[in-house]
């Protein structure tokens, strides 16, 4: 493991308690513990999707740190990819939440653009890492 992978993995792991806290809050919200915060079916679906994507994409971001070490990418692209995966996790999950924020929302608002930006960052990171891995590492 390189020092860069160790650093990024540590930072990523430090974000996991926010996902845990968010999941606990979401569980309370969906189980009726906060009656003053009534959600539409659309909001419930979007909030569940946001939370689920956060967890999955953080795991992918951790795995990517190790794969970057084995890739044939320039120093600059290694850092773009290393940061791209966790940044995509924030944007994608945040996009689900932001697009459904508000009272009585039943369709995505303008903040849905955050989700699409996250998808683009994730796609760029995936393709770049894939190319770097196919090319192989030059030791």
Question: Taking 70 as the threshold, does the pLDDT of residue 98 lie above it?
Answer: yes
In angstroms, rounded to a whole number, what is the distance separating the alpha carbons of residues 39 and 30?
Answer: 8
Region 52-62: what's the mean pLDDT?
96
Question: Taking 80 as the threshold, does the pLDDT of residue 40 lie above it?
Answer: yes
Q: Crossing angle for the helix pair 3-30 and 75-99, nearest 10 degrees?
A: 10
pLDDT at residue 137, rounded to an integer: 64
In angstroms, rounded to a whole number, what is the distance separating the alpha carbons of residues 19 and 80?
Answer: 23
In angstroms, rounded to a whole number, what is the distance separating the alpha carbons of residues 81 and 46?
Answer: 27
CA distances from 72 to 3, 24, 88, 117, 129 (A): 17, 40, 22, 26, 9
pLDDT at residue 138, rounded to an integer: 62
Q: In 10 A of CB 69, how many CB atoms?
A: 14
């Amino acid at each position: 493991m390189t020092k860069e992978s160790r650093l990024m993995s540590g930072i990523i792991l430090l974000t996991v308690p926010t996902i845990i806290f968010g999941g606990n809050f979401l569980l309370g919200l969906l189980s009726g513990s906060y009656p003053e915060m009534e959600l539409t079916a659309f909001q419930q679906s979007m909030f569940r999707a946001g939370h689920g994507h956060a967890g999955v994409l953080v795991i992918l971001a951790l795995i990517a740190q190790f794969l970057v070490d084995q890739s044939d990418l320039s120093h600059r692209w290694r850092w773009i990819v290393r940061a791209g995966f966790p940044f995509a996790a924030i944007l994608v999950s945040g996009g689900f939440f932001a697009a459904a924020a508000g009272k009585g929302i039943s369709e995505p608002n303008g903040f849905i653009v955050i989700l699409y930006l996250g998808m683009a960052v994730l796609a760029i990171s995936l393709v770049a890492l894939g190319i770097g891995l196919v090319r192989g590492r030059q030791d």
